[in-house]
């Protein structure tokens, strides 16, 4: 069965004729799309630095720096930055990941120049005030203390440390208490000076502004930004293949719940089999009441408070996991049942009806995800980051419909070996 998007919905999807893409002379890629049905404008973007640049003894440095960017700049104090934003009803925020430091904001179209000016000031001239840095450190350490008592978070960390052993992806992006305590203001200043720069930066602007006007405003704010010291993004190595099953437990006493994460490697976002894996994952533990996993482990057996599968795919190697929160006394039973479902998934694949339902869900929800300016801005960044092509969303229904049952079986068997799974748990 072929599922289609209606002609009107298809025409509203971003495409080559209404996405303007321009690369500035200093390396910034600008993507814009007009939408005059709303008086506002959304921006999203990223620069090419993240926790991959963190030294082991200063894990959390990229996260700390991103959190500190708006604590003060050469021209603005912490309060002045937020006052300027709030006075026009605008917003702006930053977040660090493995590969990039991202930003997003929103304002009325008439205030886009102000928003981009503040973005430029924050990216280029943060001062990392000592008092604010110490306040932020306290907040980060409090967050890490809360994380240490969260069974779901600690199971995720235990899984990553085991699956990606001796790989950059094994490290927590927000660091550990010891490494965050070791980060100095001088470290933040040095990290910013060395790693923040325009090369490889992307910014998407969507809303009530003509593309040429949006590009001109970006040029005014950011074209003069240069950093000859900006390093190249380090390549991400392929992880070592699993040769046997691996188990890891993180003990947290006094908990009434245990969390389980079971899985293996998954595709990168650009891999040809990503869509087959994504549709397969929907059947396995996403669609409806969390797919087969949710039906088997939670609904029928009553062994879990929640149970679902997820596919994490980005620039580097991904992971394919099943997560569940259970009574500590049910860890063994739930684990065995999840592995049983994974074996069934690998052997039998998906039914024609399951695949058709998931395809309809994927295609039907695409227009919904692009209803807001922010949703479109994020979509434009996705096609830029993974080089999917400006016509990707127009081709999307065909990409989804092209996946066959045999493709799902093949990708499941490629990445999931029930005899070589990582099983991580956290709890009492």
| d(C-alpha 380, C-alpha 49), whole Å | 20
Question: Do both 332 and 212 map to the same domain?
Answer: no
| Predicted pLDDT of residue 341 | 95
Question: Do both 218 and 167 map to the same domain?
Answer: yes
Question: Do both 294 and 423 map to the same domain?
Answer: yes
Question: Do both 196 and 311 map to the same domain?
Answer: no
| Predicted pLDDT of residue 288 | 72
pLDDT tens per residue across span 116-171: 999 999 999 999 999 999 999 999 999 999 999 999 999 999 999 999 999 999 99
Among 368, 366, 371, 373, smallest CA distance to 43 is for 373
Q: What is the DSSP string of 18-55?
A: T-EEEE-TTS-EEEEEE-TTSSEEEEEEEES--GGG--
| Predicted pLDDT of residue 12 | 82
pLDDT band (50, 70, 90) for residue 234: confident
| Predicted pLDDT of residue 129 | 97
Question: Do both 294 and 340 map to the same domain?
Answer: yes
Question: Do both 184 and 293 map to the same domain?
Answer: no
| d(C-alpha 290, C-alpha 235), whole Å | 35
| d(C-alpha 275, C-alpha 319), whole Å | 14
Question: Do both 218 and 310 map to the same domain?
Answer: no
Handedness of CA 44, 171, 65, 219 (dihedral sign): negative
Q: What is the CATH number of the domain that holds 410?
A: 3.30.830.10
- 269 domain residue, yes or no: yes
Instruction: Determine the structural domain holding residue 189 and report its residue range.
Output: 19-222
| Domain end call among 190, 222, 254 | 222
Mean pLDDT of all residues belonging to the chain: 95
| Predicted pLDDT of residue 31 | 98
| Predicted pLDDT of residue 290 | 83
Question: Do both 163 and 121 map to the same domain?
Answer: yes
- 231 domain residue, yes or no: no
Beta bridge partners of residue 103, listed in sequence order: 45, 94
- 3 domain residue, yes or no: no
- 227 domain residue, yes or no: no
Radius of gyration of the chain (CA): 23
Among 282, 280, 253, smallest CA distance to 350 is for 280
| Predicted pLDDT of residue 5 | 64
* Count of structural domains, the chain: 2
Among 277, 340, 266, smallest CA distance to 303 is for 340
pLDDT band (50, 70, 90) for residue 11: low
| Domain end call among 167, 187, 222 | 222
- 404 domain residue, yes or no: yes
pLDDT band (50, 70, 90) for residue 44: very high
| d(C-alpha 234, C-alpha 240), whole Å | 18
Among 343, 355, 336, smallest CA distance to 406 is for 355
- 379 domain residue, yes or no: yes
Question: Do both 68 and 129 map to the same domain?
Answer: yes
| Predicted pLDDT of residue 233 | 85
Lateral strand order in the sheet of 29-34: 20-23, 29-34, 202-207, 40-47, 101-108, 91-96
Q: Is 240 exposed, middle or buried (0-12, 13-18, 19+ CB in 10 A)?
A: exposed
- 354 domain residue, yes or no: yes
| Predicted pLDDT of residue 356 | 96
| d(C-alpha 111, C-alpha 9), whole Å | 30
Question: Do both 131 and 277 map to the same domain?
Answer: no
Question: Do both 261 and 148 map to the same domain?
Answer: no
Asked if pLDDT for residue 9 goes beyond 60, the answer is no
| Domain end call among 187, 222, 257 | 222
Asked if pLDDT for residue 8 goes beyond 80, the answer is no
Question: Do both 405 and 316 map to the same domain?
Answer: yes
| d(C-alpha 214, C-alpha 411), whole Å | 42
- 9 domain residue, yes or no: no
């Amino acid at each position: 069965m072929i599922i289609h998007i209606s002609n009107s919905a298809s025409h509203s999807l971003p495409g080559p004729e209404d996405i303007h893409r321009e690369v500035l002379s200093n390396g910034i890629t600008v993507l814009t799309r007009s939408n005059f049905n709303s008086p506002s404008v959304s921006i999203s973007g990223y620069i090419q630095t993240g926790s991959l640049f963190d030294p082991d003894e200063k894990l959390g440095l990229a996260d700390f720096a991103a959190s500190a960017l708006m604590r003060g700049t050469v021209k603005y104090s912490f309060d002045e930055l937020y006052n300027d934003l709030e006075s026009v009803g605008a917003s702006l925020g930053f977040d660090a990941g493995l590969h990039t430091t991202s930003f997003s904001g929103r304002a009325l179209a008439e205030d886009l120049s102000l928003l981009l000016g503040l973005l430029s000031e924050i990216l280029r001239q943060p001062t990392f005030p000592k008092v604010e840095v110490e306040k932020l450190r306290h907040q980060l350490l409090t967050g890490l203390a809360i994380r240490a008592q969260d069974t779901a978070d600690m199971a995720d960390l235990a899984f990553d440390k085991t699956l990606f052993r001796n790989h950059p992806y094994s490290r927590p992006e927000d660091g550990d208490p010891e490494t965050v305590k070791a980060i100095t203001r001088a470290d933040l200043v040095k990290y910013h000076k060395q790693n923040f720069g325009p090369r490889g930066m992307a910014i998407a602007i969507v809303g009530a502004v003509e593309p040429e006007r949006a590009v001109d405003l970006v040029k005014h704010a950011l074209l003069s930004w240069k950093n000859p010291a900006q390093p190249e993004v380090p390549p991400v190595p392929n992880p070592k293949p699993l040769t046997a099953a691996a188990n890891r437990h993180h003990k947290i006493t006094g908990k009434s719940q245990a969390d389980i994460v079971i899985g293996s490697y998954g595709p990168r976002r650009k891999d040809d089999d990503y869509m087959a894996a994504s549709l397969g994952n929907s059947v396995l533990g996403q669609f409806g009441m969390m797919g087969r996993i949710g039906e088997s482990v939670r609904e029928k057996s009553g062994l879990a408070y929640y149970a679902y599968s997820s596919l994490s795919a980005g620039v580097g190697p991904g992971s394919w996991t099943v997560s569940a929160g259970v009574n500590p006394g049910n860890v063994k039973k739930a684990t065995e049942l999840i592995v049983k479902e994974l074996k069934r998934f690998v052997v039998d694949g998906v039914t024609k009806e399951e695949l058709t339902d998931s395809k309809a869900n994927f295609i039907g929800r695409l227009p919904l995800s692009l209803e807001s300016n922010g949703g479109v801005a994020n979509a434009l960044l996705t096609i830029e980051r993974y080089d999917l092509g400006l016509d990707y969303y127009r081709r999307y229904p065909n990409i989804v419909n092209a996946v066959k049952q045999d493709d799902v079986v093949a990708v499941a068997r490629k990445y999931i070996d029930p005899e070589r799974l990582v099983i991580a748990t956290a709890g009492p």
